[in-house]
């Protein structure tokens, strides 16, 4: 099995610029004017043009202001502080500044389209550090 990540966006060029600049992803293929494949993570990322107000899964209308979702991406990086700066330069919104946690260092952000994500650098023990404190 494998997985891929689909991200709905209202502006494909702005999204392509954001994800390539913020995370160093590269454009793989373009499937017409509104569908771009990005490569560079363990799974491919597909940006899909979907306009605000159109109906998505479950009958919900798409909106691109900041929204909550039970599924989000944690991008594992070597240096959270450097990754935050890069993401901010690309247009990300910092929601929770980088902080240390037992498992590493983490910051919470959103892309320009309201999708939340975390930047995470694991400590030597990673999530195993949480087992020691339980």
- At 69-95, the pLDDT tens digits run 888 899 999 999 999 999 999 999 999
Q: What is the CATH number of the domain that holds 104?
A: 3.10.180.10
Same domain, 97 and 133: yes
Q: Per the structure, how many domains does the chain have?
A: 2
What share of the chain has pLDDT > 90, as a percent? 87
- Residue 79 near residue 62, CB atoms below 8 Å: no
pLDDT over threshold 80, residue 17: yes
Same domain, 46 and 82: no
Residue 61 lies in a domain: no
Domain that holds residue 15: 1-52
In this predicted model, what pLDDT tens digit does every residue of 91-128 receive, in sequence order? 999 999 999 999 999 999 999 999 999 999 999 999 99
Q: Summarize the confidence of residues 6-15 as an average pLDDT.
A: 97
In this structure, how many other beta carbons lie within 10 angstroms of the beta carbon of residue 118? 16
Matching residue, tokens 């689909």: 6
DSSP-assigned beta bridge partners for residue 46: 6, 37
């Amino acid at each position: 099995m494998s997985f891929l990540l689909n991200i709905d966006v209202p502006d494909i060029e702005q999204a392509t610029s954001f994800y390539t600049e913020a995370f160093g992803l590269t454009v793989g293929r373009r499937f017409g004017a509104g569908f771009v494949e990005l490569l560079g993570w363990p799974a491919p990322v597909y940006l899909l043009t979907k306009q605000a107000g159109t109906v998505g899964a479950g009958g919900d209308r798409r909106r691109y202001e900041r929204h909550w979702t039970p599924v989000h991406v944690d991008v594992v990086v070597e240096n959270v502080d450097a990754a935050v700066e890069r993401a901010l330069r690309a247009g990300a919104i910092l929601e929770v500044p980088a902080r240390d946690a037992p498992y590493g260092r983490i910051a919470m952000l959103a892309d320009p389209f309201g999708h939340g994500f975390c930047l995470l650098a694991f400590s030597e023990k990673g999530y195993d550090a949480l087992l020691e404190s339980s």
